[in-house]
Structure 1
Amino acid sequence: MVIAILGILGSALVVSVQSGYKQARQANCKSNLRQFGVALTIYRGEHDNRTPDWLSNLYPEYVDDRAMYVCRADSNGGRDRVRPEDFVAAIRDSSALDANKFRDNESNSDNTRNRAVECCSYFYEFSIASPGWGKDRFWPEGDYSTLNAYKNAQLTYGDENSGKDSAGNPLPYSASRIPIIRCYHHWRDMRLYGVAYVDRSSRRATKQYITLNVAYAGNVFVGPPWWEGTIHPGESRD
């Protein structure tokens, strides 16, 4: 009986320690994201509202610590692709975003990134990498070949997933909703997620993988793997 009780207490202690590590990693990552958000806001203020080509271009003038570029939850230390392979396998969504050209680390030599930053765990949504996506049908003619141009168009014009006004035109995404930096390395932490049926007659709760994000406006929030569309029920903001 005593052995059984000790076993239960030991298991509870392990869970508590693991939860503590998880919360500490998230807190450190959110701190990094907040500082990046401030740095990007200052950068835009000094560059006619333009964003840098790469997150690494903020170093060293706007971000003076290269350690900020590496999330403690990233098992590869910022030297691999922006979305972990096990995460991609779990969500069954292979994407152009997993290509080498989206990496802001030393494995990518074919861009204008700052090579003094050798490692980066974070996905910078406003880089000048080309995703190969076509423009949304509601957007005016133009060149949307880079992530930067594509995301700015979402901010300005919205898209198929952003909701519609009374005339049926898409609503622009809020600057506090659209992420400018994302971290996929906490995806296993998960959270409970309330889902309403279409007729709102009932709700169900399910577990959902998470991402940590800093929005274009600078606020940090916990969100789902896909952010497009309306605000997700239960989403928390810091």
Structure 2
Amino acid sequence: MRIVVTGGSGDLGGRVVRELRSRGHEAVAASRRTGVDLATGSGLDAVLEGADAVVHAATSQSRPRSVDVAGAGRIGESLRGLGSRAHVVSVSIVGCDRVPWPYYRAKVDAERALEAADVPATVVRATQFHSLAAFLGGAGRVGRLSPAIGDMRVQPVDIDWVAQRLADHATGAVPGGYRRATDLAGPTAYTAAEVAALLAAHDGRPTPRVVRVPPVLPVLKRFSEGAILPGPDAETGGRSFEEWLATQPVPLPRRFHSPT
């Protein structure tokens, strides 16, 4: 199969490309580095010509309306113009429809753009990747103190496993139209105190004292209420947060890179 991966030069997209190639497929990385710009549509028709499937893994924390939302619409428009029924597999976020944060709202609108595109499409929602959970767990740390937003918990997921499941969908059965696949999540949910303790043990630091921050804003309230946790029907798998953390440098860098 010839499968185009938007954001194919990024962290998640690159892993999807490598996974597909390891299975013997022709995986084409589509990004601005390769002359494809989802924000403008430049190069999109050319790269989608002859595609059997598309994995839409491109995202932008700063420009989600241009890349995530408009990009999904442009993929559908391009495929219709080419007369193609290529299967579009798009990654989204568990709970994005329950959290009033602009980036999450953009993810919901990207799903809707695919639903309106009139092409075979599968949306796969995943929980936060381990790297983001680690960043959130250490971002506000000051000395021996670490903040916790209300009763917030996270159930982070292994990015490699998500890449494998996206590849499974792209090479699997093609739906007749739009569908939501089963959500993906890691095997364990963690409180802020548990994440902070794991990060401290990894870095060789004393366990911090966790200070509860009242969730006074709507976004923080939804986080505290568990809006980003998966439901009981979610598929769980991949490495645990502890297993992922054991492969990371010491001390763990206090930074976060977008997966694409």
Normalising by structure 2, report the TM-score. 0.26
Report the structure, 1 or 2, having the larger helix content.
2
Higher relative contact order at CA 8 Å, sep ≥6: structure 1 or structure 2? 2
Normalising by structure 1, report the TM-score. 0.28
